[in-house]
Amino acid sequence: MDTAGLIGHQEKFPEGHEGPTLADLWPDNRIVAAVVGLNPAPKSVEAGHYYQELAARRQLLRVAEAGMLNPEDAPFLDDAARQYGIAFTNIV
């Protein structure tokens, strides 16, 4: 797949669709939880990272407050969560 011009976790839609979407984001080791969304928000796709909208970021910060991830471990919360075994995917 041609990845030219893609940033973060962006990937191209299958043939016949335009624009990027977000790739599934799976931890390298064990999975302790999976966050399943319906469609990635345009702001998230543009940034190349999951949950960039204000309300969604707040939800991930609550996960951090519960001790399930450390937001200081990576520049983006999805990357920090992935280090703690949290996966991200979308149905569409």
Chain segment 4-62, per-residue pLDDT in tens: 789 999 999 877 677 899 999 999 999 999 999 998 999 999 999 999 999 999 999 99
Q: Could you tell me which of 13, 34, 31, 33 has the C-alpha nearest to residue 22?
A: 13
Indicate the number of domains in the chain: 1
Two structure tokens written together for 25:
């984001």
pTM here? 0.86
Q: How far apart are alpha carbons 26 and 24 in whole angstroms?
A: 6
Q: How far apart are alpha carbons 9 and 78 in whole angstroms?
A: 10
What confidence tier does 89 reach under pLDDT thresholds 50, 70, 90? very high
Q: Could you tell me which of 30, 18, 24, 23 has the C-alpha nearest to residue 7?
A: 23
Domain hosting 48: range is 10-90
Are residues 41 and 53 in contact, defined by beta-carbon separation less than 8 angstroms?
yes
If one compares 76 and 92, the residue with the highest pLDDT of the two is 76
Q: How far apart are alpha carbons 34 and 15 in whole angstroms?
A: 27
28: in domain: yes
1: in domain: no
64: in domain: yes
